[in-house]
Amino acid sequence: MNKILIIDDEKDICFLISEILKDENYLTYSALNSDEAIAKFNELNPDLVILDVWLSNSKLDGIEILKEFKKNNNNVPVIIISGHGTVDLAVKAIKNGAYDFIEKPFNSDKLLIITKRAIESSALINENIDLKNILSVEIPLIGKSNFITKIFKNIKNHSISLSRLFIYGEYGTGKKLISNIIHKQSEFKNKLPVSIDFSQVSNQNIEKLFTEDIKNINENLFVRGNNNTLLLLNLDLLPINYQKKLLFYIENPSFFKKINIELKQKIITITEKNLLDEIEKGNFLKRLYERICVDYIFCPSLCDRREDIKDILNFYISYFSKGNKNFNFSKSAMTKLEMFDWPGNVAQLINYVEKTVILNQGRDVNIELDLDDLALEMGEFNKENSNLNNLDMSLKDARSEFEREYLLSQIKRFNGNMSKVSEFTGMERTALYRKIKSLNISLS
C-alpha cells in the first residue's frame, strides 16, 4: 500500500483528506508543522506528500518545507494545497519541484485523480532510475576510424556547451549513444535526460507538450526538460503547426521568464533523416532547422567505417559472454563478418552478437564459433562466393577468379584502404596495383 504524508495546520483538514484517501486503500500519516513534517518524512519515506502552503505555529512555511523535502529525496512527489491560491504561488510551487497545485476547497475526485497520477509518475521515474543503475556499465564508442577519432572532440565540446545540437544518420548508427555520452559528461549528468520521441507521441499528448496553461505548465516540454538535457527524437515527424510552436518557444525565452521560469537546458535533436532534404520537400521549417542546428553530427553507416567492425565485435563478444576469453569467432567467420554490410548498422551487429552468445550458451568454452554456428543469415556471402565452387573452369581461369574475388573482398573489408590491403595480403603496393589492373578490378 502507498504511504501518503498529509501536512496541514488544521486537524480537521488532515482528517478529511485522510478519510478520502483511506477509502482508496492508501496509508495516511499527518503532521501539523514543519518539525513534525520533516521528522515523519525522513522516518516514513512516503510515496506522496500533500502539503499546505500556509502553516501557523511552524518554523517553515510550505514552500520552505518543499525545498527541504527536495533536498532529502527529490523523487517523492509533493502536491501543494492552499486556501489562498494565486498564479504566482502556483508557479513558485512548481518551480521549486511541486508535482501539482490544488486550491481549497478542493474536489475529492480531483484530489484522488492527481494523487493516483503523481504516485504512478513517481513509480515510473524510480523504475527508470533502477534501470539506469542496472545499466550503469558504460557502453563506449568503439573503433579507430576517422569518425570515432573526431567524435570524441565533438562530444567534449558539446558536453560543456548549451548550444543546440542536431544529430542525424541511419537507424542503429549510434545517435542516441552519442547524445547520452554528451549528457553524462555535462553539468546535468546526475539526472536522467528528458527524452521526447515524436514517433510515439499521440496528438493529444503533443498538445500537452506545448501547453501554455499555467496550471499545467510543468507538462510543457521545455519546462519538463529544464535544468537538464532535452532530447527531441524523430522531430521530422512533428506536424508543421507544432513546429511553429516549437520555433516560438526557442525564439522567445521571455515567454517563460514572464512566469518566473528561467530556462537552462541542452537541446539535442535526433533524426534518421537529413532535415535539409525535408525542408526541400516542404515537410520541415527552414527557420526551425537553423535554430536547432547550431552544430551537427552526422553518424555514418557501419559499412562506411568498416575498419571499426572488428573492434565492435570483440567488445560485444566479451560483453555478452561476460568476459569469457575462450568464446570467440573463428578467423574466417570474423573476416566475413567484417565484409558484411550490416544494413541495420551497429544496432544489428550488437543484436547479432547477443543472439549468437545466447544460442551457444552451455557449449564447450574452448570452441571457436565458425559460420555454421552463426545465428545470422549469411546468404550474401554465399552469393558472392558461389562462383568459387564452379568446377567448369580451367585451373588458370579458376585461379584468376579466386584472386579477383579475394582481392575484391579485402578491398571491401578495409574500406578501400590500399595500405591495409597491402599489409594484410603481404603484397608489395606496386605489385598489388599491377595485380588489380590485370584482374580488371575498379577502385572507383
CB 35 within 8 A of CB 9: no
Residue 66 corresponds to which cell in the numbers above?
A: 518543499
| Burial class of residue 437, CB neighbours in 10 A (0-12, 13-18, 19+) | exposed
CATH number at 383-438? 1.10.10
Can you name the residues that pair with 197 across neighbouring β-strands? 233
pLDDT of residue 393: 64
The listed CATH number (3.40.50.2300, 3.10.180.10, 3.90.850.10, 3.40.190.10) that belongs to domain 3-132: 3.40.50.2300
Over the Cα atoms of the chain, what is R_g?
A: 30
pLDDT of residue 124: 63
CB 6 within 8 A of CB 31: yes
What pTM does this model have? 0.59
Residues in the chain: 444
Cis peptide before 105 (omega within 30 of 0): yes
Residues 6 or more apart whose CB falls under 8 angstroms from that of 326 comprise 365, 366, 367
CB atoms within 10 A of CB 165: 24
What is the CA angle 287-289-290, rounded to 5?
65
DSSP class of 126:
H
CA distance 44 to 279: 55
Q: Which fold has domain 146-300?
A: Rossmann fold (3.40.50)
Alpha helices in 146-285 (DSSP H): 146-159, 175-184, 203-209, 221-224, 240-251, 254-257, 275-280
CB 2 within 8 A of CB 47: yes
- Stated as kind and residue range, the H or E segment containing 380 is helix 379-385
pLDDT of residue 422: 86
| Identical fold, 3-132 and 146-300 | yes
List per-block mean pLDDT (blocks of 10 residues) for the chain, which spans 444 residues: 92 93 93 94 92 91 91 87 74 82 85 89 61 52 91 91 96 92 92 89 83 85 93 94 95 87 94 95 96 96 92 89 76 82 85 77 56 46 44 68 80 83 82 85 80
CA atoms within 13 A on the CB side of 52: 24
Nearest to 139 by CA among 104, 107, 180: 180
CA distance 433 to 357: 40
Domain ranges of the chain: 3-132, 146-300, 304-376, 383-438
Question: Which residue matches cell numbers 512566469?
Answer: 259
pLDDT of residue 368: 58
* Residue 166, φ and ψ in degrees, nearest 5: -115, 125
Query: What is the rounded end-to-end Cα distance, in angstroms, of the chain?
Result: 69
Question: Which residue matches cell numbers 494565486?
Answer: 86
pLDDT of residue 330: 80
CA distance 382 to 377: 10
Angle between helices 331-339 and 309-320 (to 10 degrees): 120
Calculated CA dihedral for residues 117, 120, 123, 129, nearest 10 degrees: -70
CB 306 within 8 A of CB 415: yes
Q: Residue type for 286, please?
A: K
Residue 169 corresponds to which cell in the numbers above?
A: 544518420
DSSP class of 84:
S
Nearest to 81 by CA among 3, 1, 2, 16: 16
Can you name the residues that pair with 196 across neighbouring β-strands? 232
Chain centroid offset of residue 354 CA: 20
CA distance 268 to 246: 14
What are the angstrom distances between the C-alpha of 6 and each of 27, 58, 415?
11, 15, 66
Is 304-376 a CATH 2.60.40.1080 domain?
no
